[in-house]
Structure formats: C-alpha cells, structure tokens
Chain A
C-alpha cells in the first residue's frame, strides 16, 4: 500500500450534514464507504457522489452492524482512511436526562468512535499504514447548558484520541491519528448562520488525505493547526536559543 487513495475510506454519519459533505469531497479521490442509520439518506449521498460511494446501513453503536459494514467495505479495498464523524447532539437539560438517555449519547459519540476505530485498525495495523481523523469539538472545555451528554461524550472522544496514540503512536507511526474541529456549521446539528458544510468538508478531506506522521496528535480547527501551548520555561528557552517560533500549518 503506497497511497491512502489506493484503499477504501470510511465516513460515519454519511447520510447528511458534514458526513455527507466529507464523503462527497473524498469520492473524487478514492473509494468511499459511508455508514449511516437511514438507507434513503445514504442513497441520496450516493446519487450526489455519482460513483465511488458505497452506502452501508449501520448504527455505529451496534458492534455487529459495524463489523458487517467494515467487512463489506474491505471486500472492495483495504480500509486506509477512517473519518469518525457520526455524532448526536440532543439538546436536553440534565434534569430531563435519564441515565439511559445520557449513556445512549455516549454510546454514539464515544462508543461509535471506539467501535469503528477498532474495526479499522484491523486493516491498518496489518500494513502499518492508515489515517484516522476524528471530528471533534471544544464542547468539553466550557459545557453549555442543555449539552451535558454531548459535552461529556465528545470530550471523552478527545481523550480517546490521545489514549489511542499512547498505545499505537510509537509502534505504528504510519497510522496517522488526529482531531479536527470543523467549526460552527450550517447543519442540523449546528446553527443556521454557520459555515457551509461543503467548505469545511474540503478542509476535512484534505486533512484526511494528508499522510504525514508528524500530524499524529495535532489538533486542527477549520483550516489551521492549533499549536500546543508552550510553558513559560519552554518559551524562554526557545527565545534564548533563538529557535524559530513554531508555525501553525495551514490546509
């Protein structure tokens, strides 16, 4: 395997919103398999793509569904790219949540990422080559009211990215893993005055097809890398040594 585009890309939540836009942005470059819960929505994505798109009905909270979908996809080509995009954002006061309703959100926003990542790693660890892009948010930093399950689960997914890198980053430097915050989008989950998902998807697809091991662990917001915070000591040392200021990369 020499190029990501020789394999198959999996996009979760491909029946609408950002997921559909990401699938459409990738399809001109490579085979894409889109996972979603509603077949009609996936078929709509397929017709918009005009080829290179395989609709796979699967609920990411269901391990059997995901296993079957990944098996179908890898029959076409080994899975080289995974975009964990599927998420739900129920606007709900915590006093209106039951433990079960809360954990259902966790099941999609964290569980789905875990299930799909584990499935994709079967292909990627065999070759030591792959790309995992997790669609993330800053929702965990300052949780908004009526967003507890979303904030917790999306925050946990960011921790999962780091924990995954702790386990495989040194062993499989060719499996490039990072988080991407697409920004506020004009989708069902976003706001009406948000960004056109097609614009964000162009960045996301470009980032997903960028196979540079130094991207692992980096965080991107829209089209720009967010450099990690430097401690005061570090900044002084860098200044004394006349080291160039770390430059944020752009898409």
Chain B
C-alpha cells in the first residue's frame, strides 16, 4: 500500500539510470513517459505516497493533520508566506503524492495565446518574449492535447486551429443555458478544454482523484503509461535532498527514503517538483563551487514567483431562467487582452452559490470591516443571506484568471533549518492592482444589466498556480534556464514544471507544462 517498488531498493540504488525524474505531476509524468516510450530507463522519484488507484479523495484544505494529509496525497504541511509584508501560514492547494497536484485538479487545459509567449509591436511582451515562440510550441500543444484526450470546442475568437481537440459530449442543461446567456451579451463562449476521456460511467472527477484512468493527469497520462512500457520504475515516499554537481553535469542525486540517506545515479536528471519546490532543491544544493546553489550565480533561482489573481464572481441568471445543474465547462476569452493590457480568460467554476456560500462571503466582508467589533454581527449575516438565497435563487460562479508578471522580489526561499518547508515572499505589484481594476470593470461591464457580485474583494493569489521561479530566457544574466530548460551551462539537468515559465499567461498552466515537458523530452532523448 505504501511505496510502489518494482525492484528492490538496493537494485534501484546500484543502477545507473538513463533518467531520474524528480516529481510525478504533469511536468515529471509527461517527460518521464515520453522518455520511457523512447526506450530510456526512467526512475520516477516521488516524495509522497503512491496511493491506491480506487481512491476518490478531494483536495481538502480544511484537513490539518499532516499524517492524514500525506496519506491522502495532499501537501502535508502549511506553507509559510509573507504576502504584502504580512506573515501567513496556510494549506495551499498542492498535492504530494503520485500525480502531484494534478490528481486533484479540475483538468482544464487551455492553450495560451500567441502574445503570451511572443513579443510584437502591437502586444509587446514584458520580458521581450519567451525563448521558445508560440509557433515552435504549437506542435507540442497539439501533442499534449492528444495525450490528455482534451475534449472541448475551439475558441471562436482564435484563428489558430486545434486539430487534436475532440468534440465534447452534449452540454448539460446548465451549460447550454449559460452559453446562450453569454452569447446574448455579445460574448464568445466555448466549451472548456477538459482532460476527461468520458469513459462509460464517467462522473467528471474535477476537484478530486479519479478512481480510473479517465481523468488525464500526471498519473494517468504520465507515470502509469510510462510504467506500462517496462522501462520505468517508481520510487515513492522518497525525498530528494541534494543534487551533486561536477562541471556541467549532475553526478549524483541524494535523497532520503524511510529515514535513510540514499544516493541515486543517472545520466540525466529531470527536475519537476513544482514551481514552489524545484527552486528550493537547487538552492539546497549549494557547495563550495555553488555557494548560493546550483544555477544561482545571478541570484535568480526562486525569484520572479507568479500566481494568477482569482477574480471570482457570481452571476444570478434569475429564478425564472430554469438553469438546471451547475455549469462547469464554459469559458470565454473576450477580455483576455483588452485596453492594451494582459488580463486573462474567464471560466465557469462548476459550483452554484446558495445560502452557505453567501453567508461565507458576507462574513468575510464583515470580518474585514469595523462591524467585526460588534457582537453578533457575524451571526447576523445569516439573515440577509437567507433572504438573498430565497429571492435570488442559485447563482453561477465564474473565475477570471488575471495574469501575473515577474517581479524580482517575489520569491520562494530555502530555509536551511526546515529544508522541506515551502517558504515564500510575495508582494502584489501596484501594476497588477491597476490591471485588476481594469479586469473587474470590464467583467462588470460585460454583464451590465445582469445581477452579478464579486465574491473576491481583496486580491486573491491562486496558490495552486505558481510559476516562474526558474525562468527560461535567452540572456544568462537575466534568466536561470536556457531555451532547452537546462540551467545556463549545464548539460544534464532539465526542468519541466511551471518553474520555467517566463510569464504566467492568462490561462491555466497545465497544457503548457505538458507541452513543454514533451518538447524538452524530445531534446533530452537525443543527448548522450
């Protein structure tokens, strides 16, 4: 039940692997699968448990016990974050088991826009552009679209075809009516690109583990098919602690397994522990030659941390609208780039707001105001909430993903006292707040005449969408990785998670992580 070791630990340690993949989320799973299918011997090293296939656990950020969390594949410990100078400790929506965070995700894999990667006079890119153009990434987006069995409709605003996209099953009544309502507002809605195979009896496991290989994630689309080739092995409950470097090569991978220190060997190392953890491993791998950690001569490792800001709002279609069932598979990109600003896409969240959510929302507003000092004010929120729920009926909830941009002072830190702990420091940039105001104004305008309410009042970073902490770039003085996602000057260390993103884009990161992992694996497999 614990770790899945297909051969004795002594043999795993004695073996010289072609590739060691650290982390089994989308980046590690997809890269490892591509390499195993190309005939390379691959060892997946996963910090968390392999888990049991039939589990349907949801990501519960209310569960606080670290043992119970680890058993369920959730990141066991709270993250420590200094946000706008205020220290916070909270459970982030992160996985720590086979498949990483992706086994819990909502499986929305949206392709970015060309301007997310490319610089142009009309849409100048804040970093001068990714070192890989949209055109160069496009075949990999298509390959990942097929690999993740994406079902959805092409964005009507895009001129770039999506040949691998499979038409979705007929929409639920709630989805069909929300599509019609959005279209009537002059918007261009489409069915989101969802990594579900819709096998018979599919219960759309969005937000919880899928008991079958129906939802496509780092496990079902990555590690499991890799293991089927016979070329890959999984070592779970094993934490990598240090990478040993000699010249341009990583020579050893040091790890802890069951309280013992072990050393693993491979010709190549793929690091895909996630944007909050991959930089911490490089920072923890300091030596005399690398006093600040591997790849960190410019003090850039862990910096330029980005999140999306979640703008969550409720739309009340009205009691008479006959909206049946929650809407979960609709989005639109009309506000993606507007007023010459990078904003982002809007998606249905798959929940309807009823009484409980309104109470929660009102309480949040009371807690943030002078009313919190009045005894009973919190409980009093129940009454307007009850009236609201009665009068307005159920609301559809949408989220706008607002793109974040890289800032040097936003960073993941390595705490030598607590090397396993995620520690970060993040400040919401004034420029981001200004774009947030634009985004909210445009959202309100788009739904003018409809009853809507923003459910997020303070800016809310989406801690489930971290990126940018080992950004790739052309200039070694301004970036950690080169275009092949290796630290500048390194030969056999490759990064394939969202750390590599120079910018956070206006879409969910998963498709780009998968596409980039396939691209990097294709370069790696031809290397000695």
Question: Which A residues fall within an 8 A CB radius of B?
Answer: 125-129, 170-174, 237, 240-241
User: CB within 8 A of B56: which of A126, A172, A237, A240?
Assistant: A172
Classify the interface of chain A: helix, strand, loop or mixed: loop
CB distance from A63 to the nearest CB of B (A): 18
Count of chain B residues with a beta carbon within 8 Å of a chain A beta carbon: 15
Give CA–CA (A39, B52) in the complex, Å. Answer: 37
Given A125-B52, A241-B355; A170-B57 close (CB under 8 Å)? yes
Task: Determine whether B55 belongs to the interface, using a CB cutoff of 8 Å to chain A.
Answer: yes
Once the chains are docked, how many angstroms separate the CA of A126 from the CA of B53? 7
Please name all residues of chain A whose beta carbon is closer than 8 Å to the beta carbon of B211 when the two chains form the complex.
Answer: 128, 174
Cα distance A173–B72 in the bound complex, in angstroms: 14
Q: Return the contact of A171 from the options B57, B355, B382, B386 (Cβ within 8 A).
A: B57
Task: Please judge, given known A-B contacts A128-B211, A241-B386, whether A172 and B54 are in contact too, CB under 8 Å.
Answer: yes
Q: Is residue B58 within 8 Å, beta carbon to beta carbon, of the partner chain?
A: yes
Give B75 Cβ to nearest chain A Cβ, in Å: 17
Across the interface, B382 reaches (CB within 8 A) one of A128, A173, A237, namely A237
Of residues B55, B386, B389, which shows the largest number of chain A Cβ atoms within 10 Å of its Cβ?
Answer: B55
CB <8 Å contact, B386 and A240: yes
Per-position 1/0 for B43-68, Cβ under 8 A of A = 00000000011111110100000000
Task: Let me know if A170 and B54 touch, CB within 8 A.
Answer: no
Name the residue of chain B whose CB is nearest to the CB of A233.
B379
* B57 CB contacts on chain A under 8 angstroms: 170-171
Bound complex: CA A173 to CA B54 (Å): 10
Min CB distance B223 to A, Å, is 19
CB distance from A123 to the nearest CB of B (A): 11
- Contacts A/B (CB < 8 Å), 28 sampled: A125-B52, A125-B54, A126-B52, A126-B53, A126-B54, A127-B54, A128-B54, A128-B55, A129-B54, A170-B58, A170-B60, A170-B72, A171-B52, A171-B56, A171-B57, A172-B54, A172-B55, A172-B56, A173-B56, A174-B54, A174-B56, A174-B211, A237-B382, A240-B382, A240-B383, A240-B386, A241-B355, A241-B386
Which chain A positions have C-beta within 8 A of B389? 241
- Residues on A with beta carbons closer than 8 Å to the beta carbon of B52: 125-126, 171
Q: Which A-chain residue is minimally distant from B1 (CB atoms)?
A: A125
Determine the chain B residues whose CB is within 8 A of the CB of A174 once the complex forms.
54, 56, 211
- Write out, one digit per residue, whether chain B residues 340-362 have a CB within 8 A of any chain A CB (1) or not (0): 00000000000000010000000
Cα distance A172–B51 in the bound complex, in angstroms: 12
> In the complex, what residues of A have CB within 8 A of residue B55's CB?
128, 171-172
Chain B residues lying within 8 Å of A127, measured Cβ to Cβ, are 54
In the bound complex, CA of A173 to CA of B210 (Å): 12
User: How far is B211's CA from A242's CA once the two chains are assembled, in angstroms?
Assistant: 37
* Smallest CB separation, B364 vs chain A (Å): 19
Q: Measuring CB to CB, which residues of chain B are less than 8 angstroms from any residue of chain A?
A: 52-58, 60, 72, 211, 355, 382-383, 386, 389
A29 nearest CB across to chain B (Å): 22
Which 7 residue pairs of A and B lie closest in terms of their CB atoms, listed nearest first?
A128-B54, A171-B55, A171-B57, A128-B211, A241-B386, A125-B52, A173-B56
A169 and B351 CA atoms in complex are apart in Å by 22
**Which of A125, A170, A174 has the most CB atoms of chain B within a 10 A radius of its CB?**
A170
Please give the distance in Å from A3's CB to the nearest CB on chain B: 13
- Closest A residue to B212 by beta carbon equals A128
* A168 to chain B: closest residue by CB: B55
The answer to whether B355 and A128 have CB atoms under 8 Å apart is: no
B-chain residues with CB within 8 Å of residue A172 when the two chains form the complex: 54-56
Once the chains are docked, how many angstroms separate the CA of A171 from the CA of B56? Answer: 5
Which residue of chain B lies nearest to A124 when distances are taken between CB atoms in the complex? B54
Given the complex of chains A and B, what is the CA–CA distance between A149 and B321 in angstroms? 61
A120 shortest CB reach to chain B, Å: 14
> 12 extra interchain contacts, Cβ-Cβ under 8 A, other than A126-B52, A171-B56, A174-B211?
A125-B52, A127-B54, A128-B55, A128-B56, A128-B211, A129-B54, A170-B58, A171-B55, A171-B57, A172-B54, A172-B56, A241-B386
Bound form: Cα–Cα A237–B54 in Å: 37
Min C-beta distance of B258 to chain A, whole Å? 22
* Chain A residue with Cβ nearest B386: A241
Contacts of A171 in B (CB 8 A): 52, 55-57, 72
A147 to chain B, nearest CB (A): 35
In whole angstroms, how far apart are the Cα atoms of A37 and B477 in the complex?
Answer: 78
Q: Cα distance A234–B211 when bound, in Å?
A: 35
Contact residues in B for A128 (Cβ distance below 8 Å): 54-56, 211
Distance of A241 Cα from B52 Cα, bound (Å): 41
Tell me the nearest residue of chain B to A122, going by C-beta.
B1
Complex formed: what's the CA distance from A241 to B356 in Å?
11
A172 to B57, CA, bound (A): 7
Chain A minimum-CB-distance residue to B389: A241
**Smallest CB gap from A126: residue in B:** B54
CB distance from B196 to the nearest CB of A (A): 18
Which A residue's beta carbon lies closest to that of B55? A171
State the CA gap A171–B49 with chains docked (Å).
Answer: 14
B298 CB to closest chain A CB (Å) equals 44
Q: Which residue of A lies closest to B51 (CB)?
A: A171
Q: Roughly how many angstroms separate A171 CA and B73 CA in the complex, as a whole number?
A: 11
Q: How far is the CB of A119 from chain B (nearest CB, A)?
A: 14
C-alpha gap A172/B53 in the complex (Å):
10
Closest chain-B Cβ to A167's Cβ sits at a distance in Å of: 8
Residues of B within 8 A of A173 (CB): 56
Q: Which residues of chain A are near B383, meaning CB under 8 Å?
A: 240
CA–CA, A237 to B359, complex, Å? 12
